[in-house]
Amino acid sequence: MPVYCYETEDGTIIERVFKAGDAPKQIILSDPGEAERVAKRSFQAEGVKSASPSGWPMTCCASGVNAEQAGELRSHFAEKGIPTEVTKDGDPIYTSSAHRKKALKARGFHDKDSYS
């Protein structure tokens, strides 16, 4: 599951894990003995320029490979006829749900949470 970043008013970055697409826009932080604080999602801290309204494209670190194997993954996708961009860190970038499903299938992966 992906890690999402949230920022408090004082600039503290908080990381939380949610299912893809289930991350809220803000979270409430409550520490014992302290007042509740609101932390808003920080796309900048996540390294994303802006939120995509559709959720695509999606960089998937869960189905990624070691950075040294990024070239091999690019070649594998090309051999299977599934054009897929792979980051320098080895994470594939899926452009749609159908693209993600084809790419995972080509690698022998199955996502039981994809409901398909």
45 vs 89, higher pLDDT: 89
Pairwise pLDDT comparison (30 vs 92), residue with the higher score: 92
Report the candidate in 97, 56, 93, 55 with the shortest Cα–Cα distance to residue 73.
Answer: 93
More confident residue, 92 or 45: 92
Angle at 90 between CA 84 and CA 93, to 5 degrees: 35
Element (H, E) at 86: strand 85-86
Domain ranges of the chain: 3-41, 58-107
Coil/strand/helix, residue 4: strand
φ, ψ of residue 86 in degrees (nearest 5)? -125, 130
Reported as type and span, the H/E element at residue 94 is strand 92-94
pLDDT at position 53 is 67
As a whole number of angstroms, the distance between CA 17 and CA 46 comes to 12
